[in-house]
Structure 1
């Protein structure tokens, strides 16, 4: 058919257009390779095409490297580069950029992430997909980032994945200490690791024993769990020796190359060995804030603040706490609630008079940041502290720990809801762990001065092999005036 005949056919056609698009091949342009997504509308009858302006492109740099990725990425950005490439590798090179970016920004600042992408992009390791901004014609925004398949083996080597995918910390679990530890905690961790190395290399088996002589993990029962804890201990050693401070996710990324590598069970093993408060080991608590409700004022770098300006409660950033000065505290009573859901139920339902009661979220143990508020309140007008914990072996210990720390301030500490009656009221229970049983046994055998209510509930826990989390008691809050209930149903802690 001639051109004129084709034009005539096109002119007679009642067009039915469909949008068509495809990526063109990459073409080198200066220091980059790029390609555009070609877009056109095409008639399904006569195949007439109307080409549209392209608004998507993919681009990567053409700098060459002939060694390893570590040779071309600046040292400061290598950890972040591992985060990006590990995420893409585990996500089958298909991560949703906006969601992933938001997740990354919870751990790292925006500029660091973008600078890292720029370095990987310059060497062609990362490819950026960009879309032209509708409001700014010359601006292209990132819609996707993925790695160049040509560098897959280099990437796997960089993020520590061997051909058989077995982590290096399993193949070579014990490392040599190049220098002597300079800190007390570093020496303590080194002693643990050297003893484990001796056991493991001598017999092929080893076990780690925590407080109360309870086995934390053994290589014979869980080889991977044991070796993982060994790797974590090396990471904590580096933390204390180099004064690193980071959240669990950041620590997991640094040690294992994956923010999700350390599970809840792994964290529990570390706590069984070293205690719940790991701030001395450079682990920043997952809780970024200290949450308080009450009537008080404070000064921070010359700025005045008052809790009266806030409706229910105030979340203070943890880094801010020791820079604050509590200037007034007007409530004589403080209730420390262990469970987060229960805390918010009490606060948002206004179950306690805010002019008389302050409420502090404890979350299982009291760190130096929460203790700061308690001590400052004790120095002002606080008269009584009430602790409302789970009915488990640790509830009594939390109250005793607080009582010891405030004993010089003439403030009484009381344990609320920790007796047989509260245990009986609960209709949902959890089985005791081996460590729970050990602690209950130690408390009953080694503490002749235990309050009767505490001794009775410990015996009840032991007899029933059960413990109670306080959140299930939320539904019972409205049946009584909570302040009267607290005062009448609490046990004073005597030291």
Structure 2
């Protein structure tokens, strides 16, 4: 017998889905619940034609609309981040914070139950979903969950298999070869000592004795190795999602990974910002019926990947393209006269040129109004490699790229020079200078002989506004 007077509240919930005439439908249930003891009682059940957005197909998979599918992915990601055990209230709160309604979350959870991925444990008997104690993903379904979320993570056994494949490859690309040596060394350690140690100059960064950090870094190195081989660019955030399932999952290990590689991650096709196209120039465009201008912002405009995919170049005079590696230099030369010029389009490459930027340049080239294409990168080994990478993209179209201020004479004008780092020296040793323009070959030899390198920003201190404007001839 209750030692209190029950105070009831009434609410409506959706019941579990059932299959009727080949359609998954639900019923509306009116529930009476005591606010003191939580005791519930079903008052009425009202059959409805409410149809589930998730219906089993003949192959056993579930079909869902785009919103429900995104909600399902969010539910799985929350469960993954919470180590596969989370209370129903906490799950709903976390998913709702990402912009989904309660109804959509209910649809997503129901879909996962129908798919056979989720199990639930009741806190006590009752029909209210708010009494569900926790939700868990069925253990043997984890590979399917990781595949759905795009997570590629190997355990120790799988890593050995992947490493054995890497050791049999002979990569010519300098960055891939550097990674191959690191991974091959780990393979030998794991086979001979049954313990892998990742270290730099005698300092241990990770050990297989502590598998969480070690496996995370090893999975990251294997993923980067694949990126370098395929020249695929990816953001650091998406790389973290791919390895850990969390957007910030690699942040604690970023410094250690860069120390192992001996270079910034930008040299391995990884960037820390969205893949955007920063551009300024004399062209007009149209997208979804709206018109815009390449000089619609000062000193430049920013085009997203989606915009570049849909953009249509309308009008453009005969002009040239100048691609700049450094953001500071890109902004500064626009402010020092290039914004007013109507015969050159300036584009910021964000280091290695991305596929989005290549796509935009190809759309400009279709107008047949581009006379020449120039690139200005850092006067260092990576700058030459960035130029080489960009040139290879366009040489397939028979388009030549000309370097700007990337020669020995220009480099010697700089007031500040820095010694080459380990990654710079390895790049010089492993890369070939054949096929480079004459000026770049001389600059290459200068790096080898002097052991020094420069920075693109340093040119801003030694060049006058007139000299900057004369870098690209007036048409």
Normalising to structure 1: TM-score of the pair? 0.53
| 156, 165, 170: which one aligns with 1:173 | 156
Q: Does 1:111 align with 2:94?
A: no
Given that 2:337 and 2:469 are in contact with CA atoms closer than 8 Å, whether structure 1 keeps it comes out as no
- Contact 1:229/1:269 (8 A) holds in 2: no
Question: For residues 30 and 251 of structure 1, what CA distance do their matches in structure 2 show?
Answer: 47
CA contact (8 A) 2:237 2:272 kept: no
Counterpart of 2:309 in 1: which secondary structure?
A: helix
Among candidates 445, 465, 474, match of residue 459 of structure 1: 445
- SS of aligned partner of 2:345: strand
> What is the alpha-carbon distance in structure 2 between the residues aligned to residue 269 and residue 261 of structure 1?
19
1:243-254 equivalence runs, <5 A: 247-253=235-241
What stretches of structure 2 of length at least 5 have no aligned partner? 1-6, 12-37, 41-70, 84-92, 110-119, 121-132, 143-151, 169-173, 187-195, 199-205, 208-212, 228-232
Stretches of structure 1 that go unaligned for 5 or more consecutive residues are: 1-26, 32-60, 64-73, 87-96, 124-149, 161-168, 177-189, 199-208, 240-244, 279-283, 489-495
Q: Is the 8 A contact 2:280 2:345 kept in 1?
A: yes
Cα drift, residue 387 of structure 1: 0.6
Match of 2:359 among 359, 372, 382: 372
Residue in structure 1 matching 2:457, options 465, 468, 471: 471
Q: State the distance in 2 between where 1:452 and 1:472 align.
A: 23
Correspondence for 1:359? 346
The C-alpha deviation readout for 1:313-367, integer Å capped at 9, x for no partner, is 1111112212222233325221111011211122234345430111000111112
Match of 1:382 among 363, 370, 380: 370
Q: How does 1:214-229 map to 2 (within 5 A)?
A: 215-216=181-182, 218-219=185-186, 222=198, 223-224=206-207, 227-229=215-217
> In structure 1, how many angstroms separate the alpha carbons of the residues matched to 2:274 and 2:316?
24
- Provide the residue aligned with 2:35 in structure 1: none
* Equivalent residue number for residue 428 of structure 2: 440
The answer on whether the counterparts of 1:174 and 1:197 sit within 8 Å (CA) in structure 2 is no
1:179-206 Cα deviation digits (max 9, x unpaired): xxxxxxxxxxx974454799xxxxxxxx
Residue 384 of structure 1: how far off its partner (Å): 1.2
2: CA distance, partners of 1:441 / 1:246: 27
CA distance in 2, matches of 1:273, 1:399: 17
TM-score in terms of structure 2 length = 0.55
Of the three residues 172, 176, 183, the one matched with 1:211 is 176
- Computing the radius of gyration from Cα coordinates, the structure with the larger value is 1
1:480 counterpart = 2:466 = yes
Asked whether the equivalents of residues 331 and 358 of structure 1 are also in contact (C-alpha less than 8 Å), the reply is: no
Supply the distance in 1 between the matched residues of 2:167 and 2:407 (Cα, whole angstroms).
Answer: 45
- 1:397 is the counterpart of 2:380: no
**Shift in Å at residue 388 of structure 1?**
0.6
Quote the Cα distance in structure 1 between the aligned partners of 2:104 and 2:261: 37
State how many pairs are aligned.
343
Mapped to 2, the partners of 1:299 and 1:373 lie a distance apart of: 13
Distance 1:271 1:381, change over 3 A: farther
Residues 352 and 301 (structure 1 numbering): CA distance in 2 closer, same or farther, change over 3 Å?
closer
1:73-472 to 2 correspondences below 5 Å: 76-81=73-78, 109-111=98-100, 172-175=155-158, 192-195=162-165, 211-212=176-177, 215-216=181-182, 218-219=185-186, 222=198, 223-224=206-207, 227-232=215-220, 247-253=235-241, 255-256=243-244, 258-262=246-250, 263-265=253-255, 266=257, 269=261, 276-277=268-269, 286-351=273-338, 353-379=340-366, 380-407=368-395, 411-443=399-431, 446-448=432-434, 450-472=436-458
Is the contact between residue 333 and residue 383 of structure 1 (CA under 8 Å) also seen in structure 2? yes
Contact 1:336–1:386 (8 Å) recurs in 2: yes
Deviations 1:17-36 (A, max 9, x none): xxxxxxxxxx99999xxxxx
User: What is the root-mean-square deviation of aligned Cα atoms in Å?
Assistant: 5.6
Distance 2:467 2:165 in 1: 56
Native 8 Å contact 1:332 1:381 kept in 2 = yes
More moved, 288-297 vs 412-421: 412-421
The alpha carbon displacement at 1:170 in A equals 11
Alpha carbons 1:334, 1:382 under 8 Å: kept: yes
